[in-house]
Amino acid sequence: MKRLDYPHVGEILYETSLPNGLPVLVSPKPGYAKSYAFFATKYGGAMRRFNLQGRAIDTPAGVAHFLEHKMFDMPEGNALAALSQNGASPNAYTSGGITAYHFESTQGFYENLDILLKFVSTPYFTAESVGKEQGIIGQEIRMTEDNPYFALYYGLLRALYDHHPVRESVAGTVESIAEITPETLYDCHRAFYVPSNMVLCVAGDVDAEKVAAAAERILPGELSEVPRPDYGEPEALEPTAPRVELAMDVSAPQFLVGAKLPAPESGADILRQTLICELALRSLVGRSSPFYTGLYAEGLLRADFSYGEDFSCGTAYMELGGESAEPERVLERFVSEVRRVSENGLEPEAFERARRADYGLTLRSLGSFSSLCRALADGAMNGYRFLDVFEVSRSLSADDCAEYIRENFAPERLALAAVTPRGPKG
């Protein structure tokens, strides 16, 4: 395996690409008792339409999430139980663009790694088990429909996007998952759960060559073609609806402001654009910014205020929000702050403070094996090395972020989604 050294942050990374196309990345952590493995496929809830071996396939909403649940079933039993009995703490998740399976353990790491690699690469679905899971996930969907943040988040995405499948719930609907059959799951596994569309990341006191050897021994050896998801026609950068309001059983209004961003194709530009957006938001609305401190002092923002960006599955967008009695006033102040920066630029001191804070938080995240492996996997899937983030950060300037704010956070690009308290019944 190739060794990469990052002496300025005290990190070493081993990486290789197996003959079947699987990237394997190992971050050695000598002396640590815990080890962590993260095995993911570049397949998520937004990847509903694709072509497999000359056949156009259009799947119901929620298949990727449903498949995640069913992958733990094996002919000889349940992989979740097997990992737990062997001292591991396993879990999985599905987002719009990725499905990931992971575990941490302090003992039996290589045995647990074998189990992880085997069950994720071994589809086993029956009509009976699929029917049972439809009932379980149906209950999960109904619960999330009553969750204010869930409603707010997808309300914002529907305001931003006209037809891109990212606007729909990763879990699907009760009606859409009723259409899922074992054949649907086999088709999607055959298409996306191939080594050339996956990545294996490990952190801990482990032997990197032994990790790669396990993957080569257990996973299919052939290099498979990966279907290209069809997200539909490109969308304009302006939102579909500038305002969305939902009435729910909440004690106080909650809101999200968002904007669609230009989405880089892949490679180092994704890392650079993500970091510019992150620093732009931190400089503009971070905890030490005049925007946040002023609105907090006036009672228009609370400590739950947060912000972030997402670059995945052919989309890019930013969001910021929290609880506020007057979301429209918060939006007005944000527009005013964007206008000020657009005209005058970012203060160098504010930008440098934001960059140092971001640098420190990223550096601290290297101590979390789960955060590190997820970031390494995201980079491998998108054609860049995550640990280059520190070098890229040093190359950015206040002018880079001010220009990004000027081009992407203009009033006509913004959408506001709000959840307001439902009025008294009857």
What are the catalytic residues?
68
Task: Concatenate the DSSP letters of all residues of 160-214 into one string.
Answer: H-SS-GGGS-TT--HHHHTT--HHHHHHHHHHH-SGGGEEEEEEES--HHHHHHH
| Strand order through the sheet with 198-204 | 2-6, 11-17, 23-28, 198-204, 35-41, 99-105, 88-94
CB 63 within 8 A of CB 118: no
Q: In the structure encoding, which two tokens stand for residue 305, read together?
A: 């205020």
- The angle, 0 to 180 degrees and rounded to 10, between the axes of the packed helices 127-145 and 148-160 is 90
Backbone angles phi, psi at 38, to 5 degrees: -135, 115
Question: Checking DSSP bridges between strand 49-52 and strand 55-58, what pairing results, if any?
Answer: antiparallel
Q: What is the CA radius of gyration of the chain?
A: 22
> Do the Cβ atoms of 58 and 230 come closer than 8 Å?
no
Cα–Cα distance, 370 to 323 (Å, whole number): 29
131: tokens are 């029917």
Provide the greatest CA pair distance for the chain. Answer: 68
For residue 363, what are the contacts with CB-CB under 8 A and spacing of at least 6? 9, 390
Q: Are strands 23-28 and 198-204 parallel, antiparallel or unpaired?
A: parallel
Say which residues have a Cβ less than 8 Å from residue 360's Cβ, sequence separation at least 6. Answer: none
List, in order, residues 6 or more apart from 335 with CB less than 8 Å away: 411, 414
Q: H-helix or E-strand containing 325?
A: none
Q: Name the DSSP letter for residue 105.
A: E
How large is the angle between the packed helices 348-365 and 398-408, nearest 10 degrees? 90
Element (H, E) at 92: strand 88-94
